């Protein structure tokens, strides 16, 4: 039974179609994985086993009749607990929210699209409070550990989703990414994660972090992500900033390879980032594989300096907005780090905010020009591998905030470009390493295509975590 937990969404759908497997079996396998691993890793806020099995039974009936509801009918999925899911509370990792006791009456757009396509919801996954940092621990749910070593962080803020997918607790999870929040845990947990172009996946309610915040798929591989993107890119009138529906399927041309693509390889953003040697070597190997597959690779750097202060202005202001209505008792219950950045964000002026927007616009202009020459930018996803769980920054690193060790991710939230992480090796401790693929805005399909080439060539093959 537990071997079914290793199947991808594409493989599950194929077996359902052939009558070789029932959604009930697949969901039971996912629930078995949760039961075996949750005590060590803590990936879920809530597990809806009874409801998941009910949905699986309904899906099985549809497949028996030859009438699947959609592209993901019967596939076990999970949802980060920042996205609304009808019928339950969205707690956002916060005791202040949990005390409210309210339940969602509607789904977030991406969740609604999964439901329309017959996906089976296993439960909600952990997040730091309001998704504010690059690791996953919160006053409400505690610490989420890495599937490869639970004493280390899963990353964040979509750490529960990444851990669930890595452990086979459903092949698909929905995450959010405001500064790296699907790519950071994706890299630390050895899975694929895509931050689509802003607006490609509708979002409602709008994030307090504004147009930094994206919704994206976290999956076993690029083929699954392309399938999920065909589902969650559907329109939703509640998001006024959503893009028009894509003209073609994200699965169209997925296997076309990278021959002829112009690839810029930036190992350290022009020497701005100190990258751990084991990480640098694994990423370079992935880049060499792209060259072997026919891409034209040049080692070069995008022309920008670290935009962290502008990012902080926008991010901390958003955090302050999230909590501005909180009373004294609610503030006292907040994660101390969140409380600190909220206080800083509340001190920014409108002119400070607009100055940060100016930095963002200039960065977007530079990257637009860069991609007129290069189809893809390739970097490490992170300069390090997973560190001790329960802390915001690695001990002894000298960093003050999580942005100190994520310099490859947040710039591309500022520019709204599609960016993905692909596993490309492990370090000496067996911890996953990720390579980041970035393309021009709206070139999501190109990112998926390049990622698929790495998977098809075996460059993304790494050991699976032990289930314990």
Residues belonging to the active site = 80, 157, 181
Instruction: Judge if the upstream peptide bond of residue 165 is cis by omega within 30 degrees of 0.
Output: no
DSSP, res 229: H
The CA distance from 444 to 449, in Å, is 9
Strands (E), 7-165: 44-47, 76-80, 120-125, 137-138, 142-143, 145-146, 149-153
**Of 368, 381, 359, 392, which is closest to residue 431 (Cα–Cα)?**
381
**Residue 130: half-sphere exposure toward Cβ, Cα within 13 Å:** 23
DSSP string of 254-278, one letter each residue: TTS--TT-EEEE-SSTTTTS---HH
Give the alpha-carbon dihedral of 400, 279, 154, 51, to 10 degrees: 140
The CA distance from 395 to 379, in Å, is 24
**Of 141, 137, 65, 41, which is closest to residue 98 (Cα–Cα)?**
141
User: Quick check: helix, strand or coil at residue 64?
Assistant: helix
């Amino acid at each position: 039974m537990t071997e079914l937990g290793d199947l991808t969404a594409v493989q599950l759908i194929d077996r359902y179609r052939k009558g070789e497997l029932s959604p009930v079996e697949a969901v039971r396998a996912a629930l078995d994985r949760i039961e075996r691993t949750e005590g060590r890793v803590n990936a879920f806020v809530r597990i809806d086993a009874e409801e998941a099995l009910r949905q699986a039974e309904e899906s099985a009936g549809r497949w028996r009749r030859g009438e699947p509801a959609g592209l993901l009918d019967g596939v076990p999925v999970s949802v980060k607990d920042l996205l609304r899911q009808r019928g339950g509370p969205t707690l956002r990792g916060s005791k202040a929210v949990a005390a409210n006791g309210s339940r969602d009456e509607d789904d977030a757009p991406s969740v609604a699209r999964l439901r329309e396509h017959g996906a089976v919801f296993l439960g909600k996954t952990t997040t730091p409070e309001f998704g504010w940092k690059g690791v996953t621990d919160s006053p409400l749910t505690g610490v989420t550990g890495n599937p490869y070593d639970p004493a280390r962080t899963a990353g964040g803020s979509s750490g529960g989703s990444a851990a669930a997918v890595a452990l086979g607790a459903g092949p698909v999870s929905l995450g959010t990414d405001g500064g790296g929040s699907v790519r950071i845990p994706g890299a630390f947990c050895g899975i694929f994660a895509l931050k689509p172009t802003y607006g490609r996946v509708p979002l409602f309610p709008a994030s307090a972090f504004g147009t930094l915040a994206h919704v994206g798929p976290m999956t076993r591989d690029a083929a699954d992500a392309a399938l999920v993107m065909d589902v969650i890119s559907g329109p939703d009138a509640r998001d006024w900033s959503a893009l028009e529906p894509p003209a073609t399927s994200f699965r169209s041309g997925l296997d076309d390879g990278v021959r002829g693509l112009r690839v810029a390889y930036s190992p350290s953003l022009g020497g701005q980032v100190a990258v751990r040697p084991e990480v640098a070597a694994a990423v370079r190997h992935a880049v060499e594989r792209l060259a072997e597959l026919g891409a034209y690779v040049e080692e070069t750097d995008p022309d920008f300096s670290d935009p962290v202060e502008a990012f902080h202005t926008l991010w901390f202001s958003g955090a302050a907005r999230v909590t501005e209505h909180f009373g004294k008792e609610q503030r006292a219950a907040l994660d101390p780090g969140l409380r600190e950045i909220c206080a800083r964000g509340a001190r920014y002026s409108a002119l400070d905010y607009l100055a940060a927007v100016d930095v963002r616009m200039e960065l977007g202009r530079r990257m637009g020009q860069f991609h007129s020459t290069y189809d893809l930018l390739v970097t490490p996803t992170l300069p390090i591998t997973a560190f001790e769980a329960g802390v915001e920054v690695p001990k002894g690193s000298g960093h003050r905030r999580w942005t100190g060790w994520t310099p490859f991710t947040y710039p591309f939230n500022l520019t709204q470009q599609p960016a993905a992480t692909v596993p490309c090796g492990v370090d000496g401790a067996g911890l996953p390493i990720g390579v980041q693929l970035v393309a021009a805005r709206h070139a999501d399909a190109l990112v998926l295509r390049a990622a698929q080439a790495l998977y098809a060539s075996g460059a993304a093959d790494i050991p699976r975590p032990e289930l314990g």
